[in-house]
Amino acid sequence: MKNAGAYVNPQKCDRSPFCPARKACPAKAISQAKLGLLARGPAVVDQEKCTACGTCVTMCPHGAIIIRKGKQKKRA
């Protein structure tokens, strides 16, 4: 079974350079490609860093992030 983790629906992500979910992630697991001064790609979650804490789910204003269930990761 895969590890639990956060996944972004790129259709719902508004690609804001001020993404509150990215800023709130305690593991710094969320990134966005820089496409210009203020243009960003959709948020992407690094599954190696994600602890499935769920903070980003509550911070995303568009409901673009879900936690997929799976094997729980060990906490640091």
| Burial tier of 47 (Cβ tally within 10 Å: 0-12, 13-18, 19+) | middle
Closest separation in Å from C-beta 70 to ligand SF4:
12
Which residue lies nearer to ligand SF4 by CB, 37 or 76?
76
Query: What one-letter code names the amino acid at 35?
Result: L
Q: Does residue 55 interact with ligand SF4 by CB under 6 A?
A: yes
Cβ atoms of 67 and 4 within 8 Å: the answer is yes
Which residue lies nearer to ligand SF4 by CB, 30 or 64?
30
- Give the footprint of ligand SF4 on residues 8-47 (CB under 6 A): 25, 27, 29-30, 45
Q: Does residue 60 interact with ligand SF4 by CB under 6 A?
A: no
Length reported for the chain? 76
Residues at the interface with ligand SF4 (CB under 6 A)? 6, 25, 27, 29-30, 45, 50-56
